[in-house]
Amino acid sequence: MKIFKFGGASVKDAAGVRNVLHVLQTVGHEDVLVVISAMGKTTNALELVIKNYFEKSKELHASMQEVRKYHNQIVLDLFEDEEHPVFFDVNAHFDDLEYFIRSNKSPNYNFVYDQVVSFGELVSTTIVSHFFNSQGLENTWIDVRPLIKTDNTYRDGQVNWEITQKNIIKAAKKKTLQITQGFLGSDENNFTTTLGREGSDYTAAIFAYCLGAESVTIWKDVPGVLNADPRYFENAILLNQISYREAIELAFYGASVIHPKTLQPLQKKEIPLFVKSFLNPTLAGTSVSKGADLEPKTSCFIVKKNQLLLSLSSIDFDFIMENHISEIFGLFAKHKIKVNLIQNTAISFSVCLEDKYQTFQELVKILSKKFKVTYNENVSLYTIRHFDENSVQVVETNKTVLLKQISRETLQIVTKE
């Protein structure tokens, strides 16, 4: 079996959905399981719904209707017959969403988040599945939530691999095309959980691992894995082949093409990963597989914007020792702060981090009781794998360097534009 994953950009409108059908007709669809994300920027739109819900905003109903309207237009563009069952199924999902918003009693933001944003994937896969069937490409729609079981860490569910594998093996059907949702799972009480933002890649890897798949292909709007994000760097180069190790390093440092958690389960079973273009499906793209000889022969650039550079120093000029660092990282974990770079001296400790859950100011208040706290907002973290003098100059030109850290293979620089 092969696992294909299509992200939101590939199904952002009716033309995109038709193109996904074209991709499958071009490369083959027998014994394929397709994982699909929410359409376009639907997750962002549903996050606005959640924001309006908690703020008791008058815009709540309008923001929900905007999401419904967007999807209804795609359905109208794909189906001439307005009596087609897809209209009923899509409206049923949105009715369920509105019912949850009306009836929910939980004040837990992360719980509400997962219950609401999940409708993006449920609706997108419903539309795609119906459209494929209408075009003669028979398929089975699968609700992924009963299959991928997680704990109740809402917004970052941790997979119970043993139960999940049993569920997936039981549900997967050989030789037929199957369509399911990325990003989603459920806890032991069957409440929806999500696997972390951009977690659809991870979903594809979970299915591949559990089924011992032949390969995973992530279909993107780029020709494969590039050595740099073309939005920030000129003359980005396609990496034809890279090793699992290199891909994990790139993902860890923030390369957006592959989700960080995607690669570990694939590496364990040596399942090859392909990153290919849904705009040019016959091109080779990038292959990720086992082999030390697959390291890039060029520098690779990764940039993370909107970072925070936090510096702590002891109030009484005492050393910052292991017990202090342990306490600091305990607070990072408690506030779900993602740390991307660490540097310390005898009396100071600096970290580059991202405030994913908007808890940084609360953390600062706590840290200020024991440390002198300073920080810079909106800094950029550049990581260069396989760096040389020229690549460093590319990054540092016209920027203020706040922090620099060098290891054998990797250079990291925190800058202020």
CB 272 within 8 A of CB 288: yes
Q: How far apart are CA 153 and CA 188, in angstroms?
A: 11
Q: Which two tokens stand for residue 103?
A: 């009836």
Q: Is 119 annotated as a binding residue?
A: no
Torsion angle (degrees, nearest 10) of CA 157, 221, 298, 205: 30
CA dihedral 219, 222, 223, 224 (to 10 degrees): -70
Residue 7 annotated as binding site? yes
Instruction: Report whether 126 belongs to an annotated binding site.
Output: no
Measured CA to CA, the distance from residue 243 to residue 221 in angstroms comes to: 22
Please list the residues that pair with 351 across neighbouring strands: 310, 342
Beta bridge partners of 406: 411
φ and ψ at 58, to 5 degrees? -70, -15
Tell me: is residue 8 an annotated ligand-binding position.
yes
Q: Tokens in use for 83?
A: 């009596």
The reply to whether 121 sits in an annotated binding site is yes
Cβ-defined contacts of 168-173 (< 8 Å, 24+): 168/206, 168/207, 168/210, 168/211, 169/210, 169/211, 171/142, 171/147, 172/1, 172/33, 172/207, 172/211, 173/140
Binding-site residues sit at: 5-8, 43, 121, 231
The binding site for ATP comprises: 5-8, 231
Q: Binding-site residues for substrate, please?
A: 43, 121
